[in-house]
Copies of this chain bind each other. A is one copy, B any other.
Amino acid sequence: MISYKREKLIETARQLFYQYGFHAVGIDLILKKSGVAKKTLYNHFYSKDDLILAVLRRNDEHFRNHFVRSLENRGFSAKEKLLSIFDTTEEWFTSSQFHGCIFINAIAEYSDRSVPIHTVCKEYKRTIRDCIAGLAREANASDPNELADQLSLLLEGATVTEQVGAIRKSAERAREIAIILINRACSLS
């Protein structure tokens, strides 16, 4: 028995927070856009921060599923999968309504490392890195952890650069650098 109102709230809030920011978007706007009553919101969530947490966790699930699935479909070898990360990323960039990484955006507004919103974002980033490290291990990289950290750095850099919009073709650029790093780390295999 899932609640459609709850889903509707999360999805509406996600879109608004992603585009306009977390502090900039008020509860009332979310209610108006979703067509849900205020009481219902506070029936499902303790507070606005709790709703934000739900949005981030939902985004985590969706994004990670999308991430992993696209890796499965795209590459055959682990090395190809590592590279295809940047193809998936490029598709993300060119999709409509791209406003960077919502977790990065959230951390920009919640810098206090002790608040749950911050830690959830940090954990997500760690999970993605570990996912990449698994692929690097599969690809027999000499130092899979280091390669994962490197590719993560490229990913973040491309995402933020694309968000700013002052420099173009970030995903392609990150991909090219990734080729160099992957070949370097997997030269033995």
A177 CB contacts on chain B under 8 angstroms: 150, 153, 177, 181
Answer yes or no: A88 CB below 8 A from chain B CBs: no
B21, B104, B129, B153: the one within 8 Å of A158 (CB): B153
Q: How many residues of A contact B (CB 8 A)?
A: 48
Answer yes or no: A47 CB below 8 A from chain B CBs: no
Known A-B contacts A104-B108, A108-B108, A160-B104; the reply to A153 vs B129 at CB < 8 A is no
8 A/B residue pairs, CB under 8 Å, sorted by A:
A23-B23, A24-B109, A99-B108, A104-B164, A109-B109, A153-B177, A177-B181, A180-B184
The interface of chain A, by Cβ under 8 A from chain B, is: 19-21, 23-24, 99-100, 103-105, 107-111, 113, 121-123, 125-126, 129, 146, 149-150, 152-161, 163-167, 169-170, 173-174, 177, 180-181, 184
